[in-house]
Structure 1
Amino acid sequence: MLTAKSSLGTYGLPTPEYFGQADAQGILSLKQRQYVAVTDDIIVQVVVDAETGLFRAKQARELKPSGPLMTRDSEGRYWLALESGDVILPNSSVAQIAELFRRAGGSVTQFSDITVARVLAVTGVDVPVLSDVLARKLPAPFLLEDSVRRFELDQQIQAIARTADERLTRFKSIEDAFEADCDEVTLRMRRFFPELPKTAAQAIWRDTSAAERLHMHNQPGLPRSVAEQALLALRDVRLARACEGIYLDSVSSLDSDLLVLQMIGRLAAWPPTVRVEIRQRVDGDVLSAIGDARSATRHVLIRQQEGYVTQHSGERLPFQVKDLYSVVWGLLLPHQRQLLGISDAPAMRRLIRAQPLPSRQAVSEWLGLGPLPSDVTRATAQHRQAGQLRGGGGGDPESPKSFEDRVRDLYPQLSDEEVSSFVAERLKSNPAGVLTRLEKEFATLRDELAIWNANGASPHAQTSGPEGAPAAAGQRQAREQFSAKLQDIWQRKSVSKWGYGDFHFSYHVDFSDELPTLSARFEYVTELILTVKQPGARIGEFLDSFPGIQYLMVTGVKMEAFPLGIFQMRQLRQLTLGECSLKLSEATAEGLSRIETLNLLNLAKNPLTVAPHVGYMTGLAELMLYDANLSSIPTGIDRLKELQVLALQGNNISDVGNELFEIPDTQDLYVGLFNNPLSSVTRQRINHYLENSSLDRKLEIQTEDVVSDSDSESESSESGFSTGSDSD
């Protein structure tokens, strides 16, 4: 379908030695003229054709270009001349493309070649995807099915609607009706992903296993794999819809406008001194911008309804809503329009439509989307989601944003000074690599939390009852609030100054089921407090993401085994795990004994069974192990010179051993042993120890027969909170 002329005749020129590198579009510029390479030795001068938006060959002496239209070859290295009516399509047979469109519910005969090429580009259907779908007799990718329908609808509306407003209204009305007419499965998925298109939901359902369908039928949430596919589908739909908006006249999309503005700014002849910004309101954030930020002239486009009003260098122009192309064209001076080769706003639209779509990475950046998380594979959804957009390719192309803007996207609360400090200190060795890693980590965090939310409450969790436990909707809302809090914590939205002071995270867990397992690491969080409002929450591997914790207090969150993530907390000072159903094995008790940095250890009201050795915790000041199902006191207590509280009441201890009596009686220490089945021999030894102590004795032991002189100290041991200052 693509035919190259054998010769460009008199349009070809020898390539000068002093030519520089071509830009991203393959354009060579010299003295405000544009050239393209047709071979290594031959170049052709080109200008933008006002009618088609493509580049047309011209001779230097011509006022009106007479040469053929030009396009890049399949490798993007050289340029070819097109015969009239030619258009680039993938290197596949017309029959293959026709079959694919038939499976997508359309027909190539209803579209021009240009429209077919655009549909394929928007949906990312390239030769490998096409071959795989046809060879394996798979359904058409859902993105293709969705876009074919929308392109067809756009054509139908253009034929009957006279005004832009009428086109927009008709398209939206028909689309809303289409999406509303859906089955129960789609409605189920939309409870967690409200924007999921019907075609995507149906494609995901077709690929679910029998076990996944049974899960969706019997349990309130979605299986993890289904939630992952929904997340990937939503991302691909948003990217495809943004690209669709470039070509559809019946659609007005902010995402498309953000993409179009960036494509305008990357035209070879765009004047960099013209600064254009898109905002939602006058004092809102900059959503997209082109041109030099230091330019004295700044044009702010404020979105109103389906168009824009303009604010020029702080002075708002008369209220008149226009589409993006009309506004941008109106900002240019006559000579700037001439350099771009455009005579009016429609010519600018044609010019942009003639450009190749940017890479997937670039579109994602311009829309504020993070990169795909590395642990969410696309392999199982490839035939549905159609892989990359045209030009997306593999790998991770460099972000088009500056380092400063990328830092602001990650940490929106930072001031300009803090952003500069972050770039100078954290990014000095490998700025692109560090930022890419952080962007992927945050993208992964958001997606993991979305999947966790979609998994729903445990089937064993109460949804009603006399105590008024939250219903399923309340559970879902509680999980979403917890997810939002975690994202805020990652972005340091509560930190006033970067890198200074401790970071505190406290939360009342009011949902059942297991806390999320996350790939992100909240290394800057030094204090973590989790309490529960209702039973059923389980800790899982949640603590693995908090290696920098110094103060940890978890109350009521179930953890039948000691969380291994605690062993990674190298600076842990105070550890409280209360009423967590915690049991210690010999191995975990040994691991716990090696946390030598502790000055407070509170494992009260847990069925521990095994008492940890505490002799290595030389700075320990408070040890609370009451109501812990222990039959012996912890070993190593005689080595703890800083110990002030030893709460062992409410256990099954009958014999206290010898170490207790080796502690000097001058040590300021309270020992609680009441409500234990102490043997008569043990009671006699305690009484003898106390009766024969020195006059300056400070050590107190409370049993059922001997009451401590200090009620306040007893109350302190009961509560499990510190009664003295830290030893550090």
Structure 2
Amino acid sequence: MADKSPRIKPGSSKINDSAADGSHRVPSGDSPPSALPQRPDPLPSLFLPDPVTTAQITDPRPSVELFAINEVAGVASPTSFADYRVPARKSLGEVDAQGVRVFKQRQYVAVSDDHFVQVVRDAESGLFRATVARELKASGPLMEPDAEGRYWRPIASGSPLDRGDAPSGLARSVDERLATLFPTMAQDARTSMHRERLTGDPLLAVARLEAQHFTLVKDLGAWTGQVPSRHPVTGLPLTNTEIAAQTASRERFAQELQDNWSRKATSANPYTPSTLDYDLDVLGSLPRLSADFSHVRELSLTSTAPLEDSTFLASFPGVRYLTLSGFALKSFPAEVYQMRELVTLTLDNCDIRLSEASVEGLAHIEQLTLLDLSNNPLGLSPDLRFMRRLDSLYLSDTGLNQVPVGLFESESLAFADLRNNEIAHLPDELFEVPDVRQVNFNFRNNPLDEATLQRVSVYMEAAGLDRKVLIQVDGEGQMQPQIAAFEGEDSGVESS
């Protein structure tokens, strides 16, 4: 077993602050102005120009300006989505990762080239809800970005307000919206997702998925442009050619992640979206994601550069088989503790150092069948006493000077690779292992003292002809009979 085992997460109440004689409505452009009383009330508009802004507006043609927002106290809850729209007449600044713009501490989303809608975060759903200035409680519909992420629209529901007076095609069914998010997913799989994941209000649930996808695209788009100006190891500035190559590498990985979230097959992962296997050529760090990748069961990432930060792993709580290689994590990734179904863990050459806390945390991932921490300066040995299912252990080139606690207690263990370490003494527990247990302990290239080597020799010589245990240490005299015994088993001859 010298070879490693294969790598086998509508508004509720309406507040009416209007005068007792009637509610204020935003005046329609088609309605003639009514006569004003001698002492006029404040103009019943959601947005009023200040004197300076008014003086500057001389061109009637559409522009990208928004009237300054006045503090209007008397505003009734609109009854049509059109009443929430604000003409775009002034720059609202750059759109953020969620597709929201902020102006005077208020949030706005674009619903067309010429109109915006003010929104607030809805506490119950976590989505954005349309509102108007001075509303104590948002009365408008929940909002969602469209498939392209350019404009926002009301989430379809049964009420005219939530439909936003939009064409009937906008009020698509839940299945149609799922098909847009997951275009290659089979109908029965979408039906299963609808039944199992879209619990409660399915419209809200699918809206959360749409918002999640929108944020994922935005987050990845921002990450692709964050190539470091200097190499993180050498400190040398990157050339324009190197920056362009790094940007292209990030774009490819970003597309891989988007496709995986949408359950699409890719050239790197052509069989199932539950596997994400990718060879990275990225400098810096991986993106921090808020999207949910809990459908991924096997995550395998190999890096050609020492990537830092394990935050990326937090989006993959459903992983069962985790492999990271070539990272620069420095410490054991705490995100692994949230992978409740993890059965194989490989963190090879990730510059990991164990602390007492991480030793204790790792010890309680009790369902592990494979643990590989090779090529890391661990400092401390892992505790194996609670890993009753552990079959394969790889701890070569880790600088350990003693064997892990519980190494010889596990009856499920079949292979333990502790080569190339600083172990000088093997404990008594090794020589209490029954010689008929089929397990291979490899201690080659360790500075074992003479007394230990002698005990190994005596133990092996005293073993019966049907022995299955193998203890590999340096020294030609020690190895020859042990190899012969294992070759006999490989020939297919059974021992009684």
TM-score, scaled relative to structure 2? 0.69
Structure 2 residue runs of 5 or longer lacking an equivalent are 1-19, 37-42, 74-87, 116-139, 154-161, 165-169, 488-496
Q: 1:654 is matched with which residue?
A: 424
Letter aligned with residue 484 of structure 1: Q
Distance 1:93 1:689, change over 3 A: closer
SS in 1 for 2:251: helix
Q: 2:133 is matched with which residue?
A: none
Q: Matched residue pairs, number?
A: 401
Alpha-carbon distance between aligned partners in 2 of 1:485 and 1:606, rounded to the nearest angstrom: 29
Q: Which among 225, 239, 242 is matched to residue 471 of structure 1?
A: 242
Q: 1:585 is matched with which residue?
A: 355
Q: 2:440 is matched with which residue?
A: 670
Letter aligned with residue 226 of structure 2: N
SS in 2 for 1:97: helix
Contact 1:123 1:240 in 2 (8 A): no
The 5 Å alignment of 1:244-393 reads 364-365=145-146
1:419 offset after TM fit, Å? 3.3
Contact 1:593 1:613 in 2 (8 A): yes
Q: 2:396 is matched with which residue?
A: 626
Alpha-carbon distance between aligned partners in 1 of 2:394 and 2:211, rounded to the nearest angstrom: 42
The 5 Å alignment of 1:75-90 reads 75=25, 82-83=32-33
Q: Does 2:409 match 1:639?
A: yes
Q: Does 2:66 match 1:110?
A: no
Alpha-carbon distance between aligned partners in 1 of 2:70 and 2:484, rounded to the nearest angstrom: 78
Deviations 1:358-414 (A, max 9, x none): x89768437555879xxxxxxxxxxxxxxxxxx999xxxxx8432122212221212
SS in 1 for 2:58: helix
Deviations 1:563-593 (A, max 9, x none): 0111111111111111111111111011111
1:233 offset after TM fit, Å? 6.2
SS in 2 for 1:422: helix
Q: Which among 535, 559, 562 is matched to residue 332 of structure 2?
A: 562
1:546 offset after TM fit, Å? 1.0
Which fold has the larger relative contact order, with Cα–Cα distance below 8 Å and residues 6 or more apart in sequence? 2
Q: Does 2:34 match 1:92?
A: no
1:711 offset after TM fit, Å? 9.4
Contact 2:300 2:324 in 1 (8 A): yes
Q: Does 2:481 match 1:700?
A: no
Q: Does 2:194 match 1:423?
A: yes
Q: 1:598 is matched with which residue?
A: 368
1:91 offset after TM fit, Å? 5.8
Contact 2:330 2:352 in 1 (8 A): yes
Q: 2:256 is matched with which residue?
A: 485
1:543 offset after TM fit, Å? 1.2
1:487 offset after TM fit, Å? 1.2
Deviations 1:218-247 (A, max 9, x none): xxxxxxxxx94796569x999376337xxx
1:624 offset after TM fit, Å? 0.8
Alpha-carbon distance between aligned partners in 2 of 1:432 and 1:363, rounded to the nearest angstrom: 11
The 5 Å alignment of 1:429-468 reads 429-457=200-228, 459-461=230-232
Contact 1:365 1:401 in 2 (8 A): no
Contact 2:279 2:301 in 1 (8 A): yes
Q: 1:685 is matched with which residue?
A: 455
Contact 2:395 2:418 in 1 (8 A): yes
Alpha-carbon distance between aligned partners in 1 of 2:72 and 2:311, rounded to the nearest angstrom: 42
1:659 offset after TM fit, Å? 2.0
Distance 1:579 1:470, change over 3 A: farther
1:420 offset after TM fit, Å? 3.8
Contact 1:509 1:530 in 2 (8 A): yes
Alpha-carbon distance between aligned partners in 2 of 1:459 and 1:130, rounded to the nearest angstrom: 52
SS in 1 for 2:479: coil
Contact 2:425 2:448 in 1 (8 A): yes
Contact 1:644 1:669 in 2 (8 A): yes
Distance 1:442 1:575, change over 3 A: same
Q: 1:163 is matched with which residue?
A: none
Alpha-carbon distance between aligned partners in 2 of 1:124 and 1:435, rounded to the nearest angstrom: 32
Letter aligned with residue 82 of structure 1: P
The 5 Å alignment of 1:223-238 reads 228=96, 232=100
Deviations 1:703-725 (A, max 9, x none): 111226449989xxxxxxxxxxx
Q: Which among 108, 114, 127 is matched to residue 243 of structure 1?
A: 114
Structure with the largest fraction of helix: 1
Contact 2:363 2:387 in 1 (8 A): yes
Cα-Cα RMSD: 4.4
Q: 1:538 is matched with which residue?
A: 308
Q: 1:385 is matched with which residue?
A: none
Alpha-carbon distance between aligned partners in 2 of 1:124 and 1:672, rounded to the nearest angstrom: 73
SS in 2 for 1:583: coil
SS in 1 for 2:216: helix
